[in-house]
Chains A and B, each alone.
Chain A
Amino acid sequence: MELQAVLMAAGGGSRMTDLTYNTPKPMLPVGNKPLMWYPLNLLERVGFEEVIVITTREVHKMMSTDPKTKLDIKMKLDVVCIQEDGDMGTADALRHIHQKVKTDILVVSCDLITDVALHEVVDLFRAHNATVAMLMSKAHEFTETVNVPQRDFVGVDQSGKRLLFMANEADLEDGLIVRRSIIRKHPRMHIKTGLVDAHLYCLKKAVVDFLAENKSISSIRGELVPFLVRKQFSKMTSGQKRMDDTETVDQKNDGLTNDDLFFPSRDEALLQLAQERSCWNDHRGDMSEAYHGGKLRCYVHIMDQGLCYRVNTLSAYIEANRMAPKFIEEPAVHPSAVISERFQMGSDSMIGAGCHVADKTSIKRSTIGISTTVKEKVKVTNSIIMHGVTIEEGCNIQGSVICSNAVIGRGADLKYCLVGNGQRIEPEGDTYSNTKKSILLEVSVTFGLV
């Protein structure tokens, strides 16, 4: 077996608490499918047959019982439940499933919606025998790149594939320091800040073994990957030196040598022989052999075309809903929905299963969830209506998000609002825009440094 897929679906959605205080993030409906469905669909399309899903008990219950959140996935899902209140980071979760991991793994986050050709990332991992290969994407306009107080600095080499430097602004107190060893080996480095990290990683099995022994690393993105990127260029201690200072070896992570992380494949001597005789080198201009003799290599594939969203903020959620019809091959109107005749629907709207839509309604650029009732003379524009919502007659809903099981009374007029789970809006309610309960849902155009 070559790769095992691991889906991280235990995240809390801390940046969109309005939506997630009642529904766990993996189960949020995007285009009438739970958010988890998108990465699972990607894995299934590519050819995976089983996935290890790390999630909370609540999500697991919803996955198996609730018909509204059923996942139509043919793959075998091996669900591992962890405590939801525990402070478990992604690396801690990997440590938890250490026993199940038998080969190299592909870690995917549940909030990733993308149509990337996955073989691009995995080919980098295979061809260069890399320790980690990850996916990033050029940011689109709606992501709040400037507003995020802590930018991510990503340094790649000239080819744009090899990852040389990765740090978060929060960790750089004295400014961005690039070690001389890196500059000597890669004199040309491109530093980018406007990239979206897709949280998709191919990791060697040895890295998971390493995590099992080093319990201080708790997040893949925040700690493990920057650590590996730094370790690419640290000096390899020779065998004798290790013997001399075994007692004084640093107990911190940085005291580990490259040899521990380097995965010695079978018949390493033969691979070395083949590499020596090959007339290929990944860089030019100095006297070093291919890869500068380094055994630990980190690669990144940066998408410049195609869709890649991480649904971890409200604006990302709305944009994803808008793009959802592109991913789903089913018809926009579910066959079991009961729709009356005099009804206007735009081409990029979606109507879920079991809906009742009455006469003279107009639905444009919106998503209507499962088992929702829409009465007469309702106008819904640019909105997301989740499951089980009842919208009484004469309502006008614009640019809003209505969460599950809410009831919108007759004649209510909602502009740019977010209505929480199970809330009731009074009949003849006024325009609710910009009050305490609502959030401006306009798409904000921001510019990031690329």
Chain B
Amino acid sequence: MADDVTGSHVTIPHGQKSKTFKSTSEAVVVNTHTVFSVVKRLPEHIQVDDPDVLKKLAKKLERQQIPRRLDYGYKVSLFSHLLQYSRKAPLTQQLSIPSAVIHPAIVRLGLQYSQGIVAGSNARSIALLHAFKQVISDYTTPSNEELSRDLVNKLKPYISFLNQCRPLSASMGNAIKYIKKEISNIPSQFKEDDAKKKLLNCIECFIEEKIVLAAKAIAKSSIEKINDGDVILVYGCSSLVNHILCEAFEKGRKFRVIVVDSRPRLEGREALRRLVQKGISCTYVLISAVSYILPEVSKVFLGAHALLANGYVMSRVGTSQIALVAKAFNVPVLVCCETYKFCERVQTDSFVSNELDDPDDLIVTRKGETQLKDWQQVPRLGLLNLVYDVTPPDFVDLVITDLGMIPCTSVPVVLRVKNVDLL
């Protein structure tokens, strides 16, 4: 259980290649002799306007024999440091058809990511781990190589490929870190079959503990927070929040749900379908009507894509707006997030690191007319399709995790505890 963070000592153990994290505004004392920590390199996918970085990336991809996906269309200047792809130009166009360099399961996964068939933080992580299980089963150690080192090198081009198809999410990053650690920890005297069995087992355990059981634990905690007669507001389609609401309904709580949705993804329709199928009575509004509907709402449940180290919540674009309006109406905002989505990154705005989706998704055809069909020809017009935004911890009242119910600012403590565990 996290201690009260204000005024506590936050130390970084020696020898750990630690990342700087900015302390929160409360008085937190950092040991001075640990400030020599290395500044973490910025990932390449948020430095796209820097030609040197692009050159390095191109060289790396060439070495790994992965084709590079090209940027598409005009980018709004504030976001010109991010990548923008078109769904109509998949990466498989440049790959040979019976893919020899990349395992078929990874090609399939990359396709499913870029077309949006697998979307949502948990779904992407589970699909990733499933694909890795297939890769590991099909893997054979070449002679004169050790499984623990060679397999990690084999996975690197696959991860680059998936990154090119769609930038990796924080949960996927943590899952990959876990697998790499497990692989490198395989003792060298293990036979190949035993090593593979052990790795497959580890992956199963990870999914079982961090995703499935965590969802059960979070549902159990949240049900205490749902009272009879509640009106709960949810935004978009979060697998965890849907799970919680379905469980609460099965346990017999009486509540109704308001689903808020936004363009262009309109994911709320899928959430609506799942809740109504269960039998929960729902209302559906678009995000523009949020301030109209909030006086009726008693609680807001939000899902998260990642929880950053300074307590900010990274989630689908529009979440921060809902949190802000809810705060203005004094409605409690509860964020549900598993611990494996906790990320050591620090961000205070939504510009620095984000994802730009296909701008053509914003184009709509009504009555046979598509007004924005030739938007690229109009000189000063840019279409911006953001995917994520960042909510400050002042707007979030409670974070429900599998470790319990913690305030937003306790995230660095959880991260510290996790890191100590890993060591």
Residue contact A48 to B97, C-beta cutoff 8 Å: yes
Interface centre among B96, B97, B116 (most CB of A within 10 A): B97
When distances are taken between beta carbons in the complex, the residues of chain B under 8 Å from A271 are 127, 130
| B207 interface residue per 8 A CB criterion | yes
| Chain B residues whose C-beta falls within 8 Å of the C-beta of A277 in the assembled complex | 120, 122-123, 126, 239
B413 at interface (Cβ–Cβ under 8 A)? no
With known contacts A3-B97, A119-B92, A279-B239, A127–B123 Cβ distance under 8 A: no
B98 contacts A3, CB within 8 Å?
Answer: yes
- Contact B117 A278, beta carbon cutoff 8 Å: yes
Do A279 and B134 form a contact, CB below 8 Å, given A126-B111, A274-B118? no
Q: Across the interface, do A284 and B129 meet the contact criterion of CB distance under 8 Å?
A: no
Does A267 belong to the interface (CB within 8 Å)? yes
Q: B236-273 vs A: 1/0 string, CB under 8 Å?
A: 11010000000000000000000000000001011101
A123 with B133: in contact, given A46-B97, A274-B118 (CB under 8 Å)?
Answer: no
Q: Is the CB of A127 within 8 A of B120?
A: no
Contact residue among A5, A117, A266 (Cβ-Cβ distance under 8 Å from B93): A117
Question: How many chain B residues have a CB neighbour from A under 8 Å?
Answer: 42
Distance to closest chain A CB from B78 (angstroms): 28
The answer to whether A123 touches B130, judged by C-beta atoms less than 8 angstroms apart, is no
CA distance A106 to B98 in the complex (A): 10
The answer for the CA separation of A275 and B130 in the assembled complex, in Å, is 12
B186, chain A: closest CB distance, angstroms: 21
A1: chain B residues at CB < 8 Å are 98, 104
When C-beta atoms are compared, the residue in chain A nearest to B269 turns out to be A284
A194-241, CB < 8 A from B = none
B97 near A270 with CB under 8 A, answer no
Is B306 engaged at the interface, CB distance under 8 Å to the other chain?
no
State whether the Cβ of B276 lies closer than 8 Å to any Cβ in chain A.
yes
B90 touches A123 (CB 8 A): yes
CB-based contact B273/A281 at 8 Å: yes
Tell me, rounded to whole Å, the shortest Cβ–Cβ distance linking A5 to chain B: 8
Q: Does A8 contact B (CB under 8 A)?
A: no
Q: Which residues of B contact A331 (CB under 8 A)?
A: none
B108 within 8 A of A: yes
Give A176-190 interface residues, CB cut-off 8 Å to B: none
Interface range on chain A (Cβ under 8 Å from partner): 20 to 34
Closest Cβ of chain B to A48, distance in Å, is 6
Which of B137, B212, B273 touches A266 (beta carbons < 8 Å)?
B137
Is B107's CB within 8 Å of the partner chain A? Answer: yes
- Residues of B84-116 contacting chain A, CB below 8 A: 90, 92-93, 95-100, 104, 107-108, 111-112, 115-116
Chain A residue nearest in CB terms to B99: A2
Is B48 an interface position by the 8 A CB rule? Answer: no
- Whether A129 is near chain B, meaning CB under 8 Å from some CB there, is yes
Q: Is B119 an interface residue (CB 8 A)?
A: yes
User: Given A119-B93, A267-B130: A275 and B98 within 8 A (CB)?
Assistant: no
**Contact in complex: B90, A280 (CB < 8 Å):** no
Given contacts A126-B108, A279-B239, A279-B270, whether A274 and B126 have CB atoms under 8 Å apart is yes
By a CB distance below 8 angstroms, the chain A residues around B115 are 127
CB-CB nearest in chain B for A287: B277
Q: Which of B270-285 contact A (CB under 8 A)?
A: 270-271, 273, 276-277
The number of residue pairs between A and B whose CB atoms lie closer than 8 Å in the complex comes to 107
Residues of B within 8 A of A128 (CB): 117
Which chain B residues (148-194) contact chain A, with CB distance < 8 Å?
Answer: none
- Chain B CB within 10 Å — which of A47, A267, A271 has the most? A267
CA distance A278 to B267 in the complex (A): 10
**Residue pair A273, B117 in contact (C-beta under 8 Å):** no
Give the distance to chain B from A303, nearest Cβ to Cβ, in Å.
15
The answer to whether B93 and A278 have CB atoms under 8 Å apart is: no
Q: Are A129 and B108 in contact (CB under 8 A)?
A: yes
- Nearest chain-A residue to B129 (Cβ)? A270
| Alpha-carbon distance A278/B236, docked complex (angstroms) | 12
In the complex the two chains form, is B134's CB within 8 Å of A266's CB? yes
Nearest-neighbor residue (CB-CB) of B270 within chain A: A279
Residues of chain A within 8 A (CB-CB) of B122 are 277
For chain A residues 86-130, which have a beta carbon within 8 Å of chain B?
106, 117-119, 122-123, 126-129
Q: Which residues of A contact B277 (CB under 8 A)?
A: 287
Contacts of A287 in B (CB 8 A): 273, 276-277
| Cβ A123 vs Cβ B111 within 8 A | yes
A270-B130, A287-B276 are contacts. A48–B98 as well, Cβ < 8 Å? yes
CA distance A118 to B270 in the complex (A): 32
1/0 per residue, CB under 8 A from A, across B293-305: the answer is 0000000000000
Chain A nearest Cβ from B217, distance in angstroms: 17
CB within 8 Å for A278 and B107 given contacts A47-B96, A119-B93, A287-B273 = no
Q: B96 — nearest CB in chain A belongs to which residue?
A: A47
Chain B residues contacting A127 (CB-CB under 8 Å) are 108, 111-112, 115, 117
Docked-complex contact A280 and B116, CB < 8 angstroms: yes
CB-contact partner of B120 in A123, A270, A279, A281, under 8 A: A279
In the assembly, what is the distance between CA of A4 and CA of B104, in Å? 13
Residue numbers in A under 8 Å from B111 (CB-CB): 123, 126-127
Using A1-B98, A48-B97 as known contacts, say yes or no to A280 and B117 having CB atoms under 8 A apart: yes
Whether B133 and A267, one on each chain, are in contact in the complex, defined by CB atoms closer than 8 angstroms, is yes
A residues less than 8 Å from B112 (CB atoms): 127
Q: Is the CB of B119 within 8 A of A278?
A: yes
Flag if B267 contacts A279 (CB, 8 Å).
Answer: yes
Bound form: Cα–Cα A127–B236 in Å: 24
A contact residues around B99 at 8 Å (CB): 2
A119 with B97: CB separation less than 8 A = yes
Given contacts A2-B98, A119-B97, A126-B108, contact A270 B133 (CB under 8 A): yes
List the 4 closest A-B pairs by CB distance, nearest first: A47-B96, A279-B237, A278-B123, A277-B239
Given A267-B133, A277-B122, A278-B127, 16 further pairs, Cβ under 8 A: A47-B100, A48-B98, A126-B107, A127-B112, A266-B134, A270-B126, A270-B129, A271-B127, A274-B130, A275-B123, A277-B123, A278-B123, A278-B239, A280-B119, A280-B270, A281-B273
Q: 8 A-B pairs, CB-CB below 8 angstroms?
A: A47-B100, A48-B98, A127-B108, A266-B134, A267-B130, A275-B118, A278-B120, A279-B239
